[in-house]
Amino acid sequence: MVRTGFDPNRKKAHKVTEDALPPMPPALAAKLIERIATIPLYAHAYAFHLNFRFGTFGPFDLLDFAAANRLRGAKIHMEDGEERSLGKADMAGLAKFGHRARQLGLDLNLEISQTDVPALQEAVRVGRAIGATSIRCYPRYEGRVSSVIKRTIADLQSLAILDPQGDFRFTLEQHEDLKAAELVHIVEAVGNPRLSLLFDFTNMINALERPIAALQSMAGHVTDVHIKDAKIIAANGGWGQLCCRSGEGDIPQARLLMELLCLGANLPQVVAYGLEEEVGYASPPFRFAGEEDDPCIAFRKASETDLTEGIDLATQLAVERANAQHLCGHVALLLKKLHDHAVLYL
How does pLDDT run across 127-163, given as a tens digit for each residue?
999 999 999 999 999 999 999 999 999 999 999 999 9
pLDDT at 4 over 50: no
Give the Cα separation of 335 and 143 in Å (integer).
41
pLDDT at 9 over 80: no
Q: Judging by DSSP bridges, how do beta strands 238-244 and 195-200 pair with one another?
A: unpaired
User: Is 15 part of any domain?
Assistant: no
Mean pLDDT over residues 302-328, rounded? Answer: 96
Domain count across the chain: 1
Residue type, 95: A
User: Is 258 part of any domain?
Assistant: yes
Between 38 and 5, name the one with better pLDDT: 38
pLDDT at 16 over 60: no
Q: What is the pLDDT of residue 301?
A: 84
| Residues whose CB falls within 8 Å of the CB of residue 29, separated by 6 or more in sequence, listed in order | 342, 343, 344, 345, 346
Residue 167's CB is within 10 A of a number of other CB atoms, namely: 16
Q: What is the CATH number of the domain that holds 203?
A: 3.20.20.150
CB 172 within 8 A of CB 196: yes
At residue 193 the predicted structure's pLDDT band, cuts being 50, 70 and 90, is very high
pLDDT at 87 over 80: yes
pTM of the model: 0.95
User: Is 173 part of any domain?
Assistant: yes
User: Is 5 part of any domain?
Assistant: no
Helix (H, G, I), strand (E, B) or coil at 344: coil
Residue type, 152: T
User: Is 89 part of any domain?
Assistant: yes
Q: What is the pLDDT of residue 220?
A: 98
User: Is 1 part of any domain?
Assistant: no
For all residues of the chain together, what is the average pLDDT?
95
DSSP one-letter code for 316: H
| Residues whose CB falls within 8 Å of the CB of residue 319, separated by 6 or more in sequence, listed in order | 279
Task: State pLDDT tens for residues 100-128.
Answer: 999 999 999 999 999 999 999 999 999 99
Burial (CB count <10 Å: 0-12, 13-18, 19+), residue 84 = middle
User: Is 202 part of any domain?
Assistant: yes
Structural domain that includes position 250: 26-300+309-343
User: Is 13 part of any domain?
Assistant: no
